[in-house]
Amino acid sequence: MKQLGSFSTVQDFWRYINHVPKPSQIFYDGDSKKRVGPDKKTVASFSLFKRGIVPEWEDAMNLTGGEWYIRSTLESDVLNAYWQNLIIAVVGETMEPEKIGQDVINGARVVDKGRVGGIAMFRLELWIRSRDNDVKEKVRAKLVEMITDGVPPNRKGPPKFEWKDHS
């Protein structure tokens, strides 16, 4: 895991995000994983977490919660749009559902799961610090609303997120 940067303002966020490749530009594309940088390394995931929270289950802020995730084959433009919508919602604090009265979002990840039957597979995750069913369901509803914003509807319907506890 390597930190690419940190930011405190929306302007700083855009300075970073405008220079980070889109997931489809570096993840497995059906033929190969892309190699990037001077050391020609592969990238397995991108994470965007609040300051002081490590994207590991064992982090104290993650132990009390879990994650909403989808594991899916996504077209590259849909994968990129979902990831961008997700991180913008997390940074813009629009992912926090109204009427919860607490800060529950810890961060987000997009993971390259490689090849499954010759098809590129990805995992999109939103990590939260609560297991309360009401909170979880409000977050899931907001998550589906936010990531699909501006993305043409899929014939299969909206993405179906699954829940996983972090303990």
- Asked if 138 and 96 count as a contact pair (C-beta separation under 8 A), the reply is no
CA angle 57, 161, 151 (to 5 degrees): 120
pTM of the complete model: 0.88
* Residue-level pLDDT at 97: 66
- pLDDT, tens only, 110-119: 998 877 666 7
Report d(CA 104, CA 86) in Å as an integer.
15
The 8 Å CB, 24+ separation contacts for 17-21 are: 17/87, 20/46
Domain boundaries, the chain: 10-165
The yes-or-no verdict on residue 101 having pLDDT over 60 is no
The yes-or-no verdict on residue 96 having pLDDT over 60 is yes
The yes-or-no verdict on residue 121 having pLDDT over 90 is no
- pLDDT, tens only, 123-137: 999 999 999 999 999
* Residue-level pLDDT at 108: 95
- Is the CATH number of domain 10-165 3.40.50.720? no
* Residue-level pLDDT at 141: 92
